[in-house]
Structure 1
């Protein structure tokens, strides 16, 4: 029996698995190929929700989605990839190591937070990069709620004023309220750039600044962090801010396991893939999501977001089975791009196009954001095989502004 191994069960990996199972059934080869998903966690994390107040629906057991469609899944840490021998070395939670051989591989290990060598960051910093990290942050905030009031207790510093950092900062008042830290709340957003949301574009800056001002979020721009202590953070400006909570949201990199492939990578460490999601320069290897760079419209490179990871995964899953059995593959093409930035209690910001023209903001955009985060990006959870497989049809969804 042939084997397809999918490394990672994030947005790209999960949808690659479902897409592969759909194509396997469609061509009537279900008995001839095993689809195996390998991930360090037994769940699919709705990663874009890790900043939210309520994390109760941010992790979905893999078996809930994969068991009904006959996709195997293994809890293990990927340690090495040998594309020449077509082998993957994994380590189980009990410490045992195993070498898995594949006929086709889908690399969907995603991205991870860039953590520079700043004094105290590893020991005293928090983040929302993973579900486990988000849960750890919430537990820390809850513990602060039981402590005596102090300036450091009530102050949260968020480092990185990009997409994630802005969402963390604007949602933080709600998280502090839930933790019982209601006295003297202070949120400070720090970034080395001269403005907030540089990566989101100039058109969005006025709306973002309006929201930050309304929510009372302070900014420190054009400065860097020099040290993080248990009760304070030091900045390059000389300012020292008393705080017990520093949330690091500055920068993302593709999984370092992508370096195991002797292929071209971009400045984020992402492997380059063609229109069929095949890794350029590696035989029998496909890639999707944050670990892959695809020129989705022939010009623009994919962005590290679930908006691109999900269709990339669906096409990778379809094409990896098609390639294995000599069937025609389908080229990925995405000719639209939107961003929906959560701005906490103030609302949200919705932009369209690669130049990020603002279309809606405030309460109207918030409804779109909630629909995306709580409904649209979820796989079917009914356990119905046909419904799950149908959701992985390799066709692009309409823009969020059109769908309800």
Structure 2
């Protein structure tokens, strides 16, 4: 019996589970097990909406796996022993594996005081805590730490849903820095229209009970702090003896296998996947194809073949600016911005299509014959293996 254990039911983990289960369905010599702390899928792309009290659709993981033959195990992964090939769950149960797919994602990379005095969007539960606090706040100042895409979307959502609050978006970079001039200007104008105060070139070094401390000693009052500045992987992989980078992500070879333990595949945000243009950054856009590729590679090995090289190119950067506005910057495969972009309602419709794309994708994977693969590309679905 070949035991394949997949850790994490995010976009990458779900893609790997449904793809591999579809390919091995009916085989008595392969068992696919998916492990996740919650039985409900967390749509990380919509956590900024949950964080402002908006209702989003909920998806039950066992239902998503229904009919695939994959087994679901609910629990927290507390340890991985890469030499013994075991996974410990909740410090009580032990799963043995022959092949492991590591898709545990990342959490916020914090500074002192964040754990005690700030909110994050690490999970659905964290987002709900933020929503409750914002509802009770009524008036005051909310500092969103981090001017990346998550920070921009969160600041816009908070300002739109809670117009009585003063929202400050604060970080080292300029919002939309990786976009061309026109879409970047549109994004910044939208933030201004929503009443968001942007302060670029600032770095928070500590979060206090009612303020943030900036590099240089300045403090800024804050009734609520939302931390969106940077991510890191859990220390589980490094503790297991797997080679990791400075952010705790598993270093992979060209086929997505760990460079130190080839029976471990790493996908999604928890993997440091190198392409010709550099190391991929964590997004659903790249996580799902990586999950599919890992599943296809495992299936090839089961057939006595070698896994193929993983190649990925970016396609777009979609950013919501509240419920009625958005900007989409289309990109070259190396993530450099193209001239093409969308704004306003067309961008909203486009982003909603992309955000909803995992669900028909998973449904297609459940019915997939062993000869092909699907992955999302800009809201469309293409057959084949990259």
Q: Is the CA contact 1:9–1:43 (under 8 Å) kept in the aligned structure 2?
A: no
Deviation at 1:251, TM superposition (A): 0.6
Q: Is the CA contact 2:361–2:375 (under 8 Å) kept in the aligned structure 1?
A: no
Equivalence for 1:56: 55
Equivalence for 1:34: 31
Equivalence for 1:316: 294
Deviation at 1:387, TM superposition (A): 6.2
Equivalence for 1:287: 266
| Residue-pair matches, total | 374
Does residue 1:107 correspond to 2:106, yes or no? Answer: no
Q: Residue deviations 1:75-103, cap 9 Å, x none?
A: 11111111111111121xxxx51221111
CA distance in 2 between partners of 1:271 and 1:288 (Å):
9
Q: Is the CA contact 2:300–2:306 (under 8 Å) kept in the aligned structure 1?
A: yes
CA distance in 2 between partners of 1:33 and 1:288 (Å):
21
Equivalence for 2:188: 209
TM-score, length-scaled by structure 1: 0.84
Q: How does 1:190-205 map to 2 (within 5 A)?
A: 190-193=170-173, 195-198=174-177, 200-201=178-179, 203=181, 204-205=183-184
Deviation at 1:390, TM superposition (A): 2.9
Q: How does 1:224-373 map to 2 (within 5 A)?
A: 224-236=203-215, 240-296=219-275, 298-327=276-305, 329-344=307-322, 345-353=324-332, 354-363=335-344, 364-373=346-355
CA distance in 2 between partners of 1:100 and 1:7 (Å):
11
CA distance in 2 between partners of 1:390 and 1:131 (Å):
30
Cα 1:288–1:172 change in 2 (3 A) is same
Match of 2:40 among 43, 54, 75: 43
**Unaligned runs of at least 5 residues, structure 2:** none
Equivalence for 1:218: 197
Q: Residue deviations 1:375-404, cap 9 Å, x none?
A: 2122568xx7x763439953444444899x
**CA RMSD between the two structures:** 2.7
Q: Residue deviations 1:191-243, cap 9 Å, x none?
A: 134x3344x35645333322222222112222233543444334346654443
Does residue 1:79 correspond to 2:46, yes or no? Answer: no
Runs ≥4 in structure 1, deviation > 6 angstroms? Answer: none
Q: Is the CA contact 1:21–1:35 (under 8 Å) kept in the aligned structure 2?
A: yes
Q: Is the CA contact 1:259–1:269 (under 8 Å) kept in the aligned structure 2?
A: yes
Equivalence for 1:69: 68
Q: Is the CA contact 1:351–1:360 (under 8 Å) kept in the aligned structure 2?
A: yes
Q: Is the CA contact 1:49–1:55 (under 8 Å) kept in the aligned structure 2?
A: no
CA distance in 1 between partners of 2:342 and 2:140 (Å):
29
Q: Is the CA contact 1:81–1:89 (under 8 Å) kept in the aligned structure 2?
A: yes
Does residue 1:116 correspond to 2:111, yes or no? Answer: yes
Equivalence for 1:150: none
Q: Residue deviations 1:139-160, cap 9 Å, x none?
A: 1122224xxxxxxx33211000
TM-score, length-scaled by structure 2: 0.87
